[in-house]
Amino acid sequence: MASSRTLLLALFVFLTAFDLSPVDANFIKSMYFYWGAQHSAVLGNGDELQLVLDQTSGSGIISKRSFLFGSIQMLIKLVPGNSAGTVTAYYVSSNGDRHDEIDFEFLGNVSGQPYIIHTNIYAQGNGSREQQFYPWFDPTADFHNYTIHWNPSEIVWFVDGVPIRVFRNYESEGIAYPNKQGMRAYSSLWNADNWATRGGLVKIDWNSAPFIARYRTFRARACKWNGPASISQCASNTPANWWTSPTYSQLSYAKQGQMKWVRDNYMIYDYCKDFKRFNGQIPPECFKPQF
């Protein structure tokens, strides 16, 4: 009997530590509008949201809590039709000149042309680490899951569970890594026609307005930031901090295979290969294994 209880306890700890079923967070309870609330809306019981861009304003939402490590998910259905010049941004960020930030940005395009999935990372205020991809699906036809997974070992950008990018922690070798600042989750829809589509050559067609991005279910399975004490608490290797498990310290071979497929077939820009931009001084993380 004692051995049975021990086995059940071990099974409970395992499921608690490694259960990946997301915890739903209602938009009304977990986020608020910080911009453009007058023409955007939370719908239904608070599980759906729409952000709107027209000639008067864009719009944006922000989480009420800050987080340090974990998994941040959002289901998004991007602006359909002629979305050229618009950007739908979804990211986590801290504040200040030396802020940390992990980005998804979806760059609109003229009808019939693909969106661009634009990713970036800032650590202690330094960014310029862009990688871009074409989606392998129509991101305007249905909702798709965009997840930022962030732990002391690595950051992974997922699209519908498929990893598209990894940024590993090489802080011990002098490469900054976002691990000491709590970050809130944001999403916004805004006019970026000075750069978003073909470098700003294609402007927004306001005859197509209003532009609407739709959202379902913001999910944060993450460590809540409670000030500097969270730096060690959120990074400690405990069952409650499931993201610190060795399981999440590196992609599995299967996930690496998925990512290779995306990067071989849909990647269109990698800052690590832009020698002209950096005058031959490629950032040091580009020479490190990332996955």
Among all residues, which ones are annotated catalytic?
Answer: 101, 105
DSSP 218-266: EEEEEEEP-STTHHHHTTS--TT-GGGSGGGSS--HHHHHHHHHHHHHH
Beta-strand relationship, 48-53 and 59-77:
unpaired
Closest CA to 98 of 31, 21, 183, 20: 183
Distance CA 210, CA 207 (A): 8
CB within 8 Å of 21: residues ≥ 6 apart: none
Give the E-state strand segments of the chain in sequence order. 24-25, 31-35, 41-43, 48-53, 59-77, 86-93, 101-107, 116-122, 131-133, 144-150, 154-159, 162-168, 183-191, 211-224, 267-270
CB within 8 Å of 214: residues ≥ 6 apart: 48, 49, 50, 76, 77, 143
DSSP designation for 11: H
